[in-house]
Structure 1
């Protein structure tokens, strides 16, 4: 399984190993979920200030958050789906706050890498159309998240 991942650490706080581990985890999740070969995703690590700005602008929530996903396959009103032959599937963007990741890892009593992996998988599942707006959706998504993290070996 080849998942094309573009990672950018705007904070310069992550190690090469941490970013590589997230890439491996997302590739593992893509394989487990039978995502098409050569699908593309971007992961950007940002400050609390930056994610706060994004959250306010795109979600009308005036607070920092831990992870935001922008799925490329979600069609807005009046938009039409474009599909080309032999074109990669572009899943979208995952944006993760490094400061929130550190804070939540401490709050939950597990490693920074575990929380980083959790947020990356959470964002990835959103890109694939999973959500947690209803109790049923939440149960499905969170069960799948836990299963992916446990199978990968990134446990609490």
Structure 2
């Protein structure tokens, strides 16, 4: 699985942890091991521009997802048909995440891990516009994040290599 990180935010982050939690999420969702994902970290100004352009909403946001291929091209490894796919981009704004982390009473890393899982799930077609969708997506997000944290804490490998 190829996961590229480009940090253009001006804020230092643990890129290895972001890759680890993204890879773990894709593994848990049975996405082909040769799928590709991009994580882009932007400053407030650049994120604001994206948020306005693509969501027609003012101000910056914490995370946005931009799918590249149709989801059905990112099949499970045991399925016939197309295999690897360029899944898309997850765009994070560490400055916004920092404010949210402070309000939530945890660190920036924890918030970025949560937002990475959230963004990957959006790439995979999950949404939270309706209450039922929100329960499903946020439940899955929390399950994945808790399992990843447990694996990291116990030294178990977090995802396929």
- Please state which band the TM-score falls in when normalised by the shorter chain: 0.7 to 0.9
8 Å CA contact 2:9–2:93 kept in 1: the answer is no
RMSD between aligned residues:
1.8
Structure 2 SS opposite 1:6: strand
Q: Deviations over 1:124-155 (max 9, x none)?
A: 0000000001111000000000001100117x
Quote the Cα distance in structure 1 between the aligned partners of 2:11 and 2:92. 12
Aligned to 1:39: 35
Quote the Cα distance in structure 2 between the aligned partners of 1:40 and 1:130. 18
Structure 2 SS opposite 1:7: strand
- Pick one of 85, 91, 97 that aligns with 1:89: 85
Aligned to 1:128: 124
Q: Deviations over 1:56-95 (max 9, x none)?
A: 11111121100010111359xxxxx9xxx76621110111
Structure 2 SS opposite 1:153: helix
8 Å CA contact 2:94–2:108 kept in 1: the answer is no
Quote the Cα distance in structure 2 between the aligned partners of 1:86 and 1:70. 21
Aligned length: 142
Structure 1 SS opposite 2:65: strand
Aligned to 1:4: 2
Query: Gaps (5+ residues) in structure 1?
Result: 76-80
TM-score (norm 2): 0.82
Structure 1 SS opposite 2:58: coil
Query: Gaps (5+ residues) in structure 2?
Result: 74-80, 151-161
- What does 1:87-126 correspond to in 2, within 5 Å? 88-126=84-122
- Pick one of 6, 23, 26 that aligns with 1:27: 23
TM-score (norm 1): 0.85
Runs of 4+ in 1 over 3 A off after TM superposition: none
